Amino acid sequence: KNELSDRFDNIQRRKEKSQVIDILKNLEPNLKDIALGQGGIVYVDLGLDNLVPIQLMGDGMVKILAVVLAIMDTKDGVVLIDEIENGLHFKSQEILWNAIAKTSEKYNVQIVAATHSIENIRAFSNVLRCKTKGSLYRIETDGKQHKSIYFSQEKIRSFVESNWEMR
Q: What is the DSSP string of the chain?
A: --HHHHHHHHHHHTT-HHHHHHHHTTT-TT--EEEE-GGG-EEEE-SSSS-EEGGGG-HHHHHHHHHHHHHHTSTTSEEEESSTTTT--GGGHHHHHHHHHHHHHHHT-EEEE----HHHHHHHHHHHTT-S---EEEEEE-SS-EEEEEE-HHHHHHHHHTT----
Percent of the chain past pLDDT 70, that is, above it, reads 96
Based on its alpha-carbon atoms, the radius of gyration of the chain, rounded to whole angstroms, reads: 17
Q: What is the pLDDT of residue 155?
A: 82
Instruction: Output the pLDDT for position 166.
Output: 56
Residue 129 has pLDDT above 90, yes or no: no
Among 26-35, 111-120, 133-142, the minimum mean pLDDT is found in: 133-142
pTM of the model: 0.87
pLDDT of residue 105: 92
Amino acid 163: pLDDT? 72
pLDDT score recorded for residue 1: 60
* Tally of CB atoms within 10 A around 164: 11
pLDDT > 60? residue 22 = yes
Q: Which pLDDT belongs to residue 52? A: 96
Across the chain, what does the average pLDDT equal? 90
